[in-house]
Amino acid sequence: MAEMDRRDFVKALVVGGAMLGTVQAAGSVLAQEQQQPKTAKDPNNMTPLEAHHVPKIEPAAESLKAGEELYVMITIDHPVLPEHHIVQIEVFMDDKKIGTYTLTPEVMRAALTVVLTPKKSFELVVRDLCNIHGLWENRMKIEVA
Ligand SMILES: [Fe+2]
C-alpha cells in the first residue's frame, strides 16, 4: 500500500511538473505576443483603434544631406485619462533605440519632437505603449545623401 502511495506521489509530481512547464510556455508566448507591436493593417484606412494608437510620424523632410538636422514630430491621437493613456514612446533608427520617453498622463499629451542628425539613410521606427491596448508601431524611411 505504501508503495502504491509513493508511485501515485511520483506520478503526481511528473504530471504536475509537465503542467507547470505548459503554463510557463504559455506565459512566455503571451509575453512575446504582448511585446510584438501592432501596426495599421491598411495605413490609408485605419480602424478607430489603429487611428488612436499608431504613432503619426511627421519629419520636416523625407530626404536630407548627411549631418543636417532633421526635426521629427511624433503624435499619438489618444485619450489622456488617468485610467487610459500612453505610457511610453520609444524612437529607433533602424534597430538601434535612440530615445525612450515616459509620459505623465495628467500633464502630458502623447506628442514630442525629436531632432536627429543622421549620417546615412535609415528607417525611423516609433513605438508607443498604451496601458490598455499594448504596444503599437509605425515606420518611415528617411533618405540621407
Ligand atoms: Fe489605448
* CATH number, domain containing residue 121: 2.60.40.730
Q: How far is the CA of 135 from the centre of ligand 1 (A)?
A: 9
Q: How far is the CA of 83 from the centre of ligand 1 (A)?
A: 10
Residues 73 and 32 in one domain: no
pLDDT tens figures, 74-93: 999 999 998 999 999 999 99
Domain with 13, as residue range(s), is: 1-36
State the Cα–Cα distance between residues 10 and 124, nearest whole angstrom. 55
User: Between 11 and 39, whose confidence is greater?
Assistant: 39
Residues with CB under 5 A from ligand 1 (ion): 130, 132-133
Q: Is the pLDDT of residue 31 over 70?
A: no
Q: How far is the CA of 93 from the centre of ligand 1 (A)?
A: 25
Q: Is the pLDDT of residue 119 over 70?
A: yes
**CB count in 10 Å sphere of residue 118:** 18
Number of domains in the chain: 2
Q: How far is the CA of 100 from the centre of ligand 1 (A)?
A: 19
Q: Determine the average pLDDT of the residues in 59-84.
A: 94
Strands (DSSP E) found in 10-104: 56-59, 63-64, 70-75, 86-93, 96-102
Task: Write out the H or E segment, with its range, that includes residue 16.
Answer: helix 2-35
Q: How far is the CA of 57 from the centre of ligand 1 (A)?
A: 18
Q: Is the pLDDT of residue 34 over 90?
A: no
